[in-house]
């Protein structure tokens, strides 16, 4: 059964068609990668799914239910978590606080009980902390638990962002270039982490990625897009062999 | 140097890190409680004023320090608090214990209304919008006719708590100390729970706060509500300290003074609000003591106080943006790791890739 369906979605900025009648569907428990040259509209697709942009045409469905009636802050409640291409962490808070903010959707606004720190709050805090700690262990972040995020090296911050998305316990995880700016070893770690996320946690992963080695290692299916339009879908080999994909990356043969 | 060995999650959730820290703050509280025994009336009143300003400062810290919204309008909510309390007690005969929470609510709702309107503004635009709130509030109170007493103001009724007249310096001092301690506890509790973290999320990155489920506009409004409620309580106590409320006391200058207080104290920390309150309340007193030693031509010139105030601010912004509390942390760190202190330890890594930010 399809977890996430993008159904003939279009979006224009003025005269520019950023996404043009794009359709694809991601199966439950799949690792699905979107590739395409610069400016192909990959991040725009993520921003559409996260409701930062509203499509001018088409529908986006999660588990059969349209996402278009959700406000941007309600998307995570439906079970979609994401990371950003340029790390968007809470720089002046500790790693743990970042993860605890990731638990936001698993709480309720209870002003009095929060201001007075009633025993129920203490219990909730402990529970959130325990969940956060599981993710810390899952991604080997123990050493940095109490460090301020602004002080951490780039590779670790990238991991923290992944961790923050994971603690919200999503059904679908959107990763925007998880390996950009990472060293070769860190990229390998990321590949293992992505596989573990799917195999052990059962989360469907949709990612945008340029590193074809990483794409080949982890993805079940790949979607290639260019100028907001569908090019090809299939396994890595199939997509790479597709003449329209080669034309998009290298230019058409004369 | 103490190294903290963590054995349970509660250690990070509790108010105090360890017994040593708890002992320090317990000592401070004991010192503050016993102040009436060893301070004479004038200094006791000054200290009470520090607590009042610290309450307003904590409110502004929630708004500016934690949720990242600059406000030049905090004095407006202090004024609303002072007037609401005076009118509720004087005209409607509400007892102090009911009037104070009602005042907090009135000021908080006024704050929430401003916050809701401003929830899409950032930086300079927000500063201008809140500044206009301060100016408009001052004018409205001045032109309020018999209801607000116009520019002549209103006399503040005597403070009586459950039949006990608070007619002595030490009595009002203890009331202010209680409220101040309460305000600190509320702020601490806020920061270790979900809404407090949501405020910090909104401050550091609105786009990822939203992606994690934080309703940004709502929590900005909530920050305004809390901030104004704190300011309202501070205003009510200020009214009692001055015995008389007039619109001029809560003008634009007061707003700027309040903002300077949190900046000089150290943005984003509870300590900062308290340090800042000591700074702005005690500086005029210290200056008047210094003036005795200065030649009359300098000491009696009009702008002397403002000059010193401005200079100190300039020095802080240029050399210690982390404020008094930041400086204290460095000094503390210097001694705790002596002789291994490195200046670099406090230098922050530059953040790259901030160009393509979404709001």
Which positions in chain B touch A88 (Cβ < 8 Å)? 205, 207-208, 211, 357
Cβ-proximal residues to A134 (8 Å cutoff; 6+ apart), any chain: none
pLDDT of residue B97: 94
Nearest CA in chain B to A165: B212
Confidence band for B359, pLDDT divided at 50, 70 and 90 = very low
Interface membership of B192 toward A (CB under 8 Å)? yes
The answer to whether A90 contacts B212, with C-beta atoms less than 8 Å apart, is no
Nearest CA in chain A to B4: A146
Element housing A18 (H / E): strand A16-27
Cβ-proximal residues to A185 (8 Å cutoff; 6+ apart), any chain: none
Domain spans of chain B?
39-341
pLDDT of residue B345: 66
- For residues B5 and B25, which has the higher predicted lDDT (pLDDT)? B25
Q: Tens of pLDDT along B266-285?
A: 988 999 999 999 999 988 88
Confidence band for B217, pLDDT divided at 50, 70 and 90 = very high
Size of interface A-B (CB pairs under 8 A): 122
Interface membership of B31 toward A (CB under 8 Å)? no
| Whether the predicted pLDDT of B355 surpasses 60 | no
Q: Tens of pLDDT along B102-129?
A: 999 999 999 999 999 998 888 889 999 9
A249 min Cα distance to partner chain B (Å): 24
The answer to whether B213 contacts A73, with C-beta atoms less than 8 Å apart, is yes
CA torsion, ordered B104, B108, B111, B113, to nearest 10 deg: -140
Q: In the block, which residue shows the tokens 């982490």?
A: A193
B212 min Cα distance to partner chain A (Å): 6
Contact A12, A51 (CB under 8 A): no
Q: Tokens standing for B136?
A: 């408009």
The answer to whether A101 contacts B190, with C-beta atoms less than 8 Å apart, is no
Q: Tens of pLDDT along B133-163?
A: 999 999 999 988 888 888 888 999 999 898 8
pLDDT of residue B347: 61
Q: What is the mean pLDDT of residues B341-358?
A: 55
- The ipTM is 0.91
| Whether the predicted pLDDT of B18 surpasses 90 | no
A88 min Cα distance to partner chain B (Å): 6
Mark which residues 89-108 of A lie under 8 Å from B by CB.
89-93, 96-97, 100-102, 104-105, 107
Nearest CA in chain B to A111: B195
The separation between CA A161 and the C-alpha centre of its own chain, rounded to angstroms, equals 10
For chain A, which domains are there?
A: 2-250 (3.40.50.300)
Interface membership of A82 toward B (CB under 8 Å)? yes
Q: Tokens standing for B228?
A: 């104004």
| Whether the predicted pLDDT of B358 surpasses 50 | no
The answer to whether B197 contacts A97, with C-beta atoms less than 8 Å apart, is yes
Cα distances (angstroms) measured from residue A209 to each of A88, A161, A219, B265, B287: 18, 16, 10, 45, 62
Contact B238, B277 (CB under 8 A): no
Which positions in chain B touch A47 (Cβ < 8 Å)? 358
Q: Tens of pLDDT along B37-78?
A: 999 888 899 999 999 999 999 999 999 999 999 999 999 999
| Whether the predicted pLDDT of B357 surpasses 50 | no
Contact A189, A222 (CB under 8 A): no
Phi, psi of A5 (to 5 degrees): -120, 125
Which positions in chain A touch B354 (Cβ < 8 Å)? 86
Identify any residues that bridge with A221 across adjacent strands, giving them in sequence order: A32
The answer to whether A101 contacts B201, with C-beta atoms less than 8 Å apart, is yes
Question: What is the reported pTM?
Answer: 0.91
d(CA A14, CA A11): 10
Tens place of pLDDT per residue across chain A (254 aa): 689 999 999 999 888 899 999 999 999 999 999 999 988 999 999 999 999 999 999 999 999 999 999 999 999 999 999 999 888 999 889 999 999 999 999 999 999 999 999 999 999 999 999 999 999 999 999 999 999 998 898 999 999 999 999 999 999 999 999 998 899 999 999 999 999 999 999 999 999 999 999 999 999 999 999 999 999 999 999 999 999 999 998 887 65
pLDDT of residue B251: 82
- Which numeric CATH code is attached to B39-341? 1.10.3470
Identify any residues that bridge with A4 across adjacent strands, giving them in sequence order: A26, A62
The answer to whether B216 contacts A73, with C-beta atoms less than 8 Å apart, is yes
| Whether the predicted pLDDT of B354 surpasses 80 | no
pLDDT of residue B144: 82
Q: What is the mean pLDDT of residues B251-264?
A: 87
Nearest CA in chain A to B348: A151
Interface membership of B112 toward A (CB under 8 Å)? no
Interface membership of A112 toward B (CB under 8 Å)? no
d(CA A127, CA A142): 18
Which positions in chain A touch B213 (Cβ < 8 Å)? 73-74, 76-77, 104-105, 168
Q: Where are the beta strands (DSSP E) in B140-225?
A: 154-155, 160-161, 164-165
Which positions in chain A touch B208 (Cβ < 8 Å)? 84, 88-90, 164
Which positions in chain B touch A75 (Cβ < 8 Å)? 211
Confidence band for B296, pLDDT divided at 50, 70 and 90 = confident
d(CA A100, CA B214): 12
A90 min Cα distance to partner chain B (Å): 5
Which string of DSSP letters, residue by residue, matches B94-141? --HHHHHHHHHHHHHHHHHHHHHHTTT--HHHHHHHHHHHHHHHHHHH
The answer to whether A93 contacts B208, with C-beta atoms less than 8 Å apart, is no
A119 min Cα distance to partner chain B (Å): 12
Question: Any idea which of A205-209, B16-20, B32-36, B242-246 has the lowest mean pLDDT?
Answer: B16-20
Interface membership of B357 toward A (CB under 8 Å)? yes
């Amino acid at each position: 059964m399809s977890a996430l369906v993008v159904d003939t979605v279009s979006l224009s900025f003025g005269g520019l068609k950023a996404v043009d009648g794009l359709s694809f569907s991601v199966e439950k428990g799949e690792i699905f990668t979107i590739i395409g040259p610069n400016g192909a509209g990959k991040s725009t697709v993520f921003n559409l799914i996260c409701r930062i942009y509203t499509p001018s045409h088409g529908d986006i469905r999660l588990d059969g239910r349209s996402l278009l009636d959700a406000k941007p802050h309600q998307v995570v409640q439906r079970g979609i978590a994401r990371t950003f291409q340029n790390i968007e962490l809470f720089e002046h808070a500790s790693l743990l606080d970042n993860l605890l903010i990731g638990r936001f959707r698993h709480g309720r606004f209870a002003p009095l009980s929060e201001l007075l720190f009633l025993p129920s709050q203490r219990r909730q805090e402990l529970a959130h902390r325990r969940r956060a700690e599981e993710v810390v262990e899952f991604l080997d972040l123990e050493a940095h638990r109490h460090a301020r995020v602004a002080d951490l090296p780039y590779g670790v911050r990238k991991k923290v962002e992944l961790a923050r998305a994971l603690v919200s316990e999503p059904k679908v995880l959107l990763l925007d270039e998880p390996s950009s700016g990472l060293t070769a070893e860190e990229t390998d770690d990321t590949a293992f982490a992505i596989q573990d996320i799917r195999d052990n946690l059962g989360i469907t992963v949709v990612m945008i990625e340029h590193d074809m080695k990483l794409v080949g290692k982890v993805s079940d299916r790949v979607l290639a897009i260019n100028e907001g339009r569908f090019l090809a879908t299939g396994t890595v080999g199939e997509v790479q062999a597709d003449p329209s994909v080669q034309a998009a990356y290298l230019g058409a043969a004369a | 140097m103490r190294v903290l060995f963590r054995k349970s999650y509660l250690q990070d959730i509790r108010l105090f890190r360890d017994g040593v820290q708890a002992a320090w703050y317990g000592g401070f509280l004991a010192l503050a409680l016993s102040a009436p025994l060893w301070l004479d009336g004038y200094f006791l009143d000054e200290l009470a004023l520090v607590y009042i300003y610290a309450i307003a400062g904590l409110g502004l810290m929630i708004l500016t320090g934690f949720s990242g919204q600059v406000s030049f309008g905090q004095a407006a909510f202090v004024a609303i608090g002072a007037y609401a309390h005076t009118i509720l007690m004087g005209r409607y005969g509400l007892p102090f214990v009911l009037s104070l929470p009602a005042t907090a609510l009135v000021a908080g709702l006024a704050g929430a209304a401003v916050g809701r309107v401003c929830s899409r503004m950032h930086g300079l635009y927000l500063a201008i919008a809140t500044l206009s709130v301060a100016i408009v509030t001052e004018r409205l109170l001045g032109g309020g006719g018999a209801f607000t007493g116009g520019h002549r103001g209103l006399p503040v009724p005597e403070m009586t708590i459950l039949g006990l007249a608070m007619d002595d310096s030490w009595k009002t001092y203890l009331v202010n100390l209680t409220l101040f301690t309460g305000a600190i506890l509320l702020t601490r509790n806020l920061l270790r729970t979900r809404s407090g973290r949501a405020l910090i999320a909104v401050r550091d990155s609105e786009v990822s706060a939203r992606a994690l489920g934080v309703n940004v506009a709502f929590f900005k409004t909530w920050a305004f509500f809390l901030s104004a409620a704190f300011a309202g309580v501070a205003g009510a106590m200020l009214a009692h300290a001055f015995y008389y409320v007039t619109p001029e006391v809560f003008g634009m200058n007061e707003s700027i003074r309040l903002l300077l207080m949190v900046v000089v104290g150290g943005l984003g920390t509870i300590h900062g609000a308290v340090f800042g309150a000591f700074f702005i309340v005690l500086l005029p007193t210290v200056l008047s003591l210094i003036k005795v030693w200065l030649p009359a031509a300098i000491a009696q010139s009009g702008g002397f106080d403002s000059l010193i105030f401005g200079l100190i601010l300039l020095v802080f912004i240029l050399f210690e943006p982390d404020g008094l509390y930041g400086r204290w942390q460095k000094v503390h760190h210097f001694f705790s790791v002596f002789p291994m202190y490195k200046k670099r330890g406090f230098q922050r890594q530059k953040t790259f890739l901030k160009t393509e930010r979404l709001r």
